[in-house]
Chains A and B, each alone.
Chain A
Protein backbone atom coordinates (compact mmCIF):
# COMPACT_ATOMS: atom_id res chain seq x y z
CA UNK A 1 0.00 0.00 0.00
CA UNK A 2 1.64 3.19 -1.20
CA UNK A 3 -0.65 5.80 0.30
CA UNK A 4 -1.32 5.45 4.01
CA UNK A 5 -3.89 7.08 6.22
CA UNK A 6 -1.34 9.17 8.12
CA UNK A 7 -0.02 10.49 4.81
CA UNK A 8 -3.47 11.84 4.03
CA UNK A 9 -3.59 13.53 7.44
CA UNK A 10 -0.17 15.07 6.85
CA UNK A 11 -1.22 16.37 3.42
CA UNK A 12 -4.38 17.85 4.88
CA UNK A 13 -2.46 19.55 7.70
CA UNK A 14 0.07 20.80 5.16
CA UNK A 15 -2.70 22.30 3.05
CA UNK A 16 -4.27 23.96 6.10
CA UNK A 17 -0.87 25.29 7.12
CA UNK A 18 -0.40 26.87 3.68
CA UNK A 19 -3.88 28.38 3.78
CA UNK A 20 -3.08 29.88 7.18
CA UNK A 21 0.27 31.19 5.88
CA UNK A 22 -1.38 32.81 2.87
CA UNK A 23 -4.16 34.31 4.99
CA UNK A 24 -1.77 35.86 7.50
CA UNK A 25 0.93 36.99 5.08
CA UNK A 26 -1.13 38.04 2.10
CA UNK A 27 -3.98 39.88 3.75
CA UNK A 28 -3.92 43.55 2.84
CA UNK A 29 -4.56 45.94 5.68
CA UNK A 30 -8.30 46.13 6.16
CA UNK A 31 -9.65 49.40 4.80
CA UNK A 32 -12.24 51.36 6.74
CA UNK A 33 -12.38 54.75 5.07
CA UNK A 34 -12.49 56.22 1.56
CA UNK A 35 -10.94 59.61 0.84
CA UNK A 36 -12.37 61.35 -2.21
CA UNK A 37 -10.31 64.13 -3.71
CA UNK A 38 -11.23 66.66 -6.36
CA UNK A 39 -8.69 69.04 -7.85
CA UNK A 40 -6.12 67.94 -5.28
CA UNK A 41 -8.30 68.89 -2.31
CA UNK A 42 -10.15 66.49 -0.08
CA UNK A 43 -13.77 66.52 -1.23
CA UNK A 44 -15.21 64.08 1.28
CA UNK A 45 -14.15 61.31 3.65
CA UNK A 46 -16.59 58.45 3.91
CA UNK A 47 -16.68 55.30 6.05
CA UNK A 48 -16.80 52.10 4.00
CA UNK A 49 -19.59 50.50 6.00
CA UNK A 50 -22.29 52.28 4.07
CA UNK A 51 -24.07 51.91 0.79
CA UNK A 52 -23.80 55.25 -0.93
CA UNK A 53 -23.16 57.02 -4.22
CA UNK A 54 -21.43 60.39 -4.31
CA UNK A 55 -21.32 62.82 -7.21
CA UNK A 56 -18.03 64.69 -7.46
CA UNK A 57 -17.69 67.68 -9.78
CA UNK A 58 -14.54 68.10 -11.85
CA UNK A 59 -13.41 70.18 -14.83
CA UNK A 60 -14.86 67.71 -17.37
CA UNK A 61 -18.08 66.90 -15.59
CA UNK A 62 -19.34 64.76 -12.74
CA UNK A 63 -17.71 61.58 -11.48
CA UNK A 64 -19.82 59.16 -9.49
CA UNK A 65 -18.18 57.21 -6.71
CA UNK A 66 -19.94 54.21 -5.22
CA UNK A 67 -19.33 52.59 -1.85
CA UNK A 68 -20.76 49.16 -1.22
CA UNK A 69 -19.88 46.09 0.82
CA UNK A 70 -16.68 47.59 2.38
CA UNK A 71 -15.44 48.42 -1.12
CA UNK A 72 -15.31 51.55 -3.22
CA UNK A 73 -15.15 52.23 -6.96
CA UNK A 74 -15.60 54.97 -9.47
CA UNK A 75 -18.91 54.06 -11.07
CA UNK A 76 -18.80 56.59 -13.87
CA UNK A 77 -16.54 59.35 -15.04
CA UNK A 78 -16.34 61.66 -18.06
CA UNK A 79 -12.62 61.00 -18.67
CA UNK A 80 -11.94 59.73 -22.22
CA UNK A 81 -10.05 56.53 -21.45
CA UNK A 82 -12.01 55.37 -18.39
CA UNK A 83 -8.97 53.87 -16.64
CA UNK A 84 -10.26 54.66 -13.18
CA UNK A 85 -13.66 53.14 -13.92
CA UNK A 86 -12.18 49.98 -15.36
CA UNK A 87 -10.01 49.57 -12.27
CA UNK A 88 -13.12 48.26 -10.54
CA UNK A 89 -13.68 47.79 -6.84
CA UNK A 90 -10.94 48.83 -4.41
CA UNK A 91 -10.69 46.59 -1.36
CA UNK A 92 -7.57 47.01 0.76
CA UNK A 93 -5.99 50.02 2.41
CA UNK A 94 -3.67 51.97 0.16
CA UNK A 95 -5.51 51.15 -3.07
CA UNK A 96 -6.32 54.19 -5.12
CA UNK A 97 -8.20 54.97 -8.34
CA UNK A 98 -7.38 58.23 -10.08
CA UNK A 99 -9.32 59.89 -12.89
CA UNK A 100 -6.61 62.25 -14.04
CA UNK A 101 -8.46 64.27 -16.69
CA UNK A 102 -11.31 65.00 -14.31
CA UNK A 103 -8.94 65.47 -11.34
CA UNK A 104 -10.95 63.10 -9.15
CA UNK A 105 -9.52 60.29 -7.04
CA UNK A 106 -10.67 57.87 -4.40
CA UNK A 107 -8.25 56.31 -1.94
CA UNK A 108 -8.83 53.70 0.73
CA UNK A 109 -7.18 54.03 4.12
CA UNK A 110 -7.10 51.77 7.15
CA UNK A 111 -5.90 51.92 10.71
CA UNK A 112 -2.59 50.42 9.64
CA UNK A 113 -1.36 51.35 6.22
CA UNK A 114 0.45 48.46 4.62
CA UNK A 115 1.39 50.18 1.36
CA UNK A 116 1.98 53.79 0.44
CA UNK A 117 0.00 53.18 -2.71
CA UNK A 118 -1.12 50.32 -4.90
CA UNK A 119 -1.42 50.54 -8.67
CA UNK A 120 -2.11 48.05 -11.42
Chain B
Protein backbone atom coordinates (compact mmCIF):
# COMPACT_ATOMS: atom_id res chain seq x y z
CA UNK B 1 0.00 0.00 0.00
CA UNK B 2 1.26 3.42 -0.77
CA UNK B 3 2.15 5.31 2.33
CA UNK B 4 1.86 8.70 0.77
CA UNK B 5 0.65 10.17 -2.44
CA UNK B 6 2.25 13.03 -4.24
CA UNK B 7 -0.25 15.66 -5.12
CA UNK B 8 0.63 18.34 -7.60
CA UNK B 9 -1.40 21.43 -7.44
CA UNK B 10 -2.46 22.47 -10.89
CA UNK B 11 -4.00 25.69 -12.00
CA UNK B 12 -6.80 26.00 -14.49
CA UNK B 13 -4.27 27.38 -16.95
CA UNK B 14 -2.33 24.12 -16.70
CA UNK B 15 -5.48 22.20 -17.58
CA UNK B 16 -6.13 24.54 -20.42
CA UNK B 17 -2.63 24.07 -21.85
CA UNK B 18 -2.91 20.31 -21.41
CA UNK B 19 -6.17 20.23 -23.37
CA UNK B 20 -4.71 22.23 -26.23
CA UNK B 21 -1.60 20.06 -26.25
CA UNK B 22 -3.84 16.99 -26.37
CA UNK B 23 -5.51 18.28 -29.53
CA UNK B 24 -2.08 18.88 -31.07
CA UNK B 25 -1.05 15.37 -30.00
CA UNK B 26 -4.09 13.91 -31.73
CA UNK B 27 -3.00 15.58 -34.95
CA UNK B 28 0.57 14.30 -34.46
CA UNK B 29 -0.67 10.72 -34.16
CA UNK B 30 -3.00 11.20 -37.12
CA UNK B 31 -0.14 12.56 -39.20
CA UNK B 32 2.11 9.60 -38.36
CA UNK B 33 -0.32 7.44 -40.36
CA UNK B 34 0.18 9.54 -43.50
CA UNK B 35 2.90 8.07 -45.70
CA UNK B 36 5.69 10.48 -46.62
CA UNK B 37 7.63 10.41 -49.90
CA UNK B 38 10.84 11.53 -48.22
CA UNK B 39 11.83 11.37 -44.54
CA UNK B 40 11.40 14.86 -43.20
CA UNK B 41 8.62 15.93 -45.53
CA UNK B 42 5.58 16.07 -43.27
CA UNK B 43 2.59 18.39 -43.24
CA UNK B 44 3.06 19.35 -39.57
CA UNK B 45 -0.66 19.46 -38.85
CA UNK B 46 -0.13 20.01 -35.11
CA UNK B 47 1.25 23.44 -35.95
CA UNK B 48 -2.28 24.49 -36.89
CA UNK B 49 -3.09 24.26 -33.18
CA UNK B 50 0.09 26.14 -32.26
CA UNK B 51 -0.84 28.93 -34.70
CA UNK B 52 -4.34 29.26 -33.29
CA UNK B 53 -3.02 29.20 -29.72
CA UNK B 54 -0.45 31.84 -30.62
CA UNK B 55 -3.08 34.16 -32.04
CA UNK B 56 -5.49 33.64 -29.19
CA UNK B 57 -3.42 33.11 -26.04
CA UNK B 58 0.02 34.45 -26.86
CA UNK B 59 3.51 33.08 -27.37
CA UNK B 60 4.04 31.60 -23.91
CA UNK B 61 1.06 29.24 -24.12
CA UNK B 62 1.96 28.38 -27.72
CA UNK B 63 5.47 27.41 -26.62
CA UNK B 64 4.05 25.19 -23.88
CA UNK B 65 1.67 23.48 -26.28
CA UNK B 66 4.35 22.98 -28.92
CA UNK B 67 7.00 21.59 -26.57
CA UNK B 68 4.55 19.39 -24.69
CA UNK B 69 3.43 18.00 -28.02
CA UNK B 70 7.00 17.16 -28.99
CA UNK B 71 7.76 15.37 -25.71
CA UNK B 72 4.44 13.56 -25.36
CA UNK B 73 4.29 12.80 -29.07
CA UNK B 74 7.69 11.14 -28.93
CA UNK B 75 6.54 9.08 -25.94
CA UNK B 76 3.51 7.92 -27.91
CA UNK B 77 5.59 7.10 -30.98
CA UNK B 78 8.32 5.44 -28.95
CA UNK B 79 10.98 7.82 -30.21
CA UNK B 80 11.73 9.68 -26.98
CA UNK B 81 15.45 10.64 -26.90
CA UNK B 82 15.97 9.00 -30.30
CA UNK B 83 17.41 11.15 -33.11
CA UNK B 84 13.92 11.90 -34.40
CA UNK B 85 13.01 13.39 -31.04
CA UNK B 86 15.91 15.83 -31.12
CA UNK B 87 15.05 16.76 -34.67
CA UNK B 88 11.47 17.51 -33.61
CA UNK B 89 12.72 19.48 -30.63
CA UNK B 90 15.14 21.53 -32.72
CA UNK B 91 12.40 22.20 -35.26
CA UNK B 92 9.94 23.22 -32.57
CA UNK B 93 12.41 25.56 -30.85
CA UNK B 94 13.37 27.23 -34.11
CA UNK B 95 9.80 27.63 -35.32
CA UNK B 96 8.76 29.02 -31.93
CA UNK B 97 11.52 31.64 -32.23
CA UNK B 98 10.33 32.48 -35.73
CA UNK B 99 6.75 32.74 -34.47
CA UNK B 100 7.89 34.98 -31.63
CA UNK B 101 9.53 37.32 -34.13
CA UNK B 102 6.89 37.24 -36.86
CA UNK B 103 3.94 37.80 -34.49
CA UNK B 104 5.21 41.37 -34.03
CA UNK B 105 4.76 42.16 -37.72
CA UNK B 106 1.89 44.59 -38.28
CA UNK B 107 -1.31 42.55 -38.01
CA UNK B 108 -3.03 44.66 -40.60
CA UNK B 109 -0.85 43.18 -43.32
CA UNK B 110 0.42 39.89 -41.96
CA UNK B 111 -1.74 37.04 -40.72
CA UNK B 112 -1.36 33.40 -39.68
CA UNK B 113 -0.17 32.42 -43.18
CA UNK B 114 2.92 34.60 -42.78
CA UNK B 115 3.55 33.24 -39.28
CA UNK B 116 3.12 29.69 -40.53
CA UNK B 117 5.46 30.08 -43.50
CA UNK B 118 8.18 31.66 -41.36
CA UNK B 119 7.75 28.93 -38.75
CA UNK B 120 7.94 26.20 -41.40
CA UNK B 121 11.16 27.61 -42.88
CA UNK B 122 12.70 27.99 -39.42
CA UNK B 123 11.57 24.46 -38.56
CA UNK B 124 13.35 22.83 -41.48
CA UNK B 125 16.38 25.11 -41.09
CA UNK B 126 16.78 24.04 -37.46
CA UNK B 127 16.38 20.39 -38.37
CA UNK B 128 18.86 20.52 -41.21
CA UNK B 129 21.35 22.23 -38.91
CA UNK B 130 21.03 19.42 -36.35
CA UNK B 131 21.28 16.82 -39.10
CA UNK B 132 24.42 18.48 -40.44
CA UNK B 133 26.12 19.12 -37.07
CA UNK B 134 25.23 15.80 -35.51
CA UNK B 135 23.85 13.06 -37.76
CA UNK B 136 25.23 13.51 -41.29
CA UNK B 137 28.18 15.94 -41.28
CA UNK B 138 28.44 15.97 -45.05
CA UNK B 139 27.72 18.91 -47.31
CA UNK B 140 25.86 16.56 -49.68
CA UNK B 141 22.68 17.00 -47.66
CA UNK B 142 22.52 20.56 -48.99
CA UNK B 143 21.30 18.92 -52.19
CA UNK B 144 17.99 18.21 -50.46
CA UNK B 145 17.48 21.77 -49.21
CA UNK B 146 15.38 23.02 -52.16
CA UNK B 147 13.03 20.04 -51.76
CA UNK B 148 12.61 20.61 -48.04
CA UNK B 149 12.21 24.36 -48.54
CA UNK B 150 9.50 23.76 -51.15
CA UNK B 151 7.69 21.41 -48.77
CA UNK B 152 8.01 24.02 -46.01
CA UNK B 153 6.48 26.71 -48.22
CA UNK B 154 3.59 24.51 -49.34
CA UNK B 155 2.72 23.00 -45.97
CA UNK B 156 3.37 26.30 -44.18
CA UNK B 157 0.86 28.00 -46.47
CA UNK B 158 -1.71 25.21 -46.14
CA UNK B 159 -1.45 25.09 -42.33
CA UNK B 160 -1.63 28.87 -42.14
CA UNK B 161 -4.74 28.90 -44.33
CA UNK B 162 -6.41 26.22 -42.22
CA UNK B 163 -5.55 28.08 -39.00
CA UNK B 164 -6.81 31.36 -40.45
CA UNK B 165 -10.06 29.75 -41.60
CA UNK B 166 -10.58 28.21 -38.17
CA UNK B 167 -10.18 31.57 -36.50
CA UNK B 168 -12.40 33.21 -39.09
CA UNK B 169 -15.23 30.74 -39.05
CA UNK B 170 -16.29 31.15 -35.46
CA UNK B 171 -14.58 27.88 -34.70
CA UNK B 172 -13.86 29.77 -31.52
CA UNK B 173 -16.77 28.02 -29.88
CA UNK B 174 -15.44 24.63 -30.92
CA UNK B 175 -12.09 25.25 -29.32
CA UNK B 176 -13.51 26.93 -26.25
CA UNK B 177 -15.90 24.10 -25.62
CA UNK B 178 -12.81 22.07 -24.88
CA UNK B 179 -11.92 24.20 -21.91
Contact = CB atoms under 8 A, between A and B. Distances in A.
Contact of A21 (B110, B114, B145, B160): B145
Contacts of A11: 113, 117, 153, 157
Contacts of A22: 146
B117 A6 contact: no
A78 B69 CA distance: 64
Contacts of B114: 4, 6-7, 10
A18 interface: yes
Contacts of B168: 2
Interface residues on A, range: 10 to 19
B113 A10 contact: yes
Interface in A3-38: 3-7, 10-11, 14-15, 17-18, 21-22, 25-26
Contact of A7 (B145, B153, B160): B160
A15 B149 CA distance: 9
A6 B112 CA distance: 11
A7 B168 CA distance: 16
Interface string B133-177: 000000000110110011001001100110011001000000000
A26 B147 CA distance: 11
Main secondary structure of the interface of A (DSSP, over half): helix
Contact of A10 (B106, B118, B150, B161): B118
B146 A4 contact: no
A10 B146 contact: no
Contacts of A2: 111, 113, 161, 164-165, 168
A17 B121 CA distance: 11
Contacts of A4: 108-111, 113-114
- Of the listed residues A1, A3, A14, A26, the one surrounded by the most CB atoms of chain B closer than 10 A to its CB is A14
Contact of B117 (A3, A5, A10, A26): A10
B81 interface: no
Interface in A57-92: none
B101 interface: no
Given A10-B117, A11-B117, A5 B109 contact: yes
B105 interface: yes
Contacts of A25: 142-143, 145-146
Contacts of A1: 111
Given A3-B164, A10-B118, A25-B145, A18 B150 contact: yes
Contacts of B108: 4
Contact of B110 (A7, A17, A26): A7
17 contacts: A3-B161, A4-B108, A4-B110, A4-B114, A6-B106, A6-B110, A6-B111, A7-B117, A10-B114, A10-B117, A11-B117, A11-B153, A14-B121, A14-B156, A17-B149, A18-B150, A22-B146
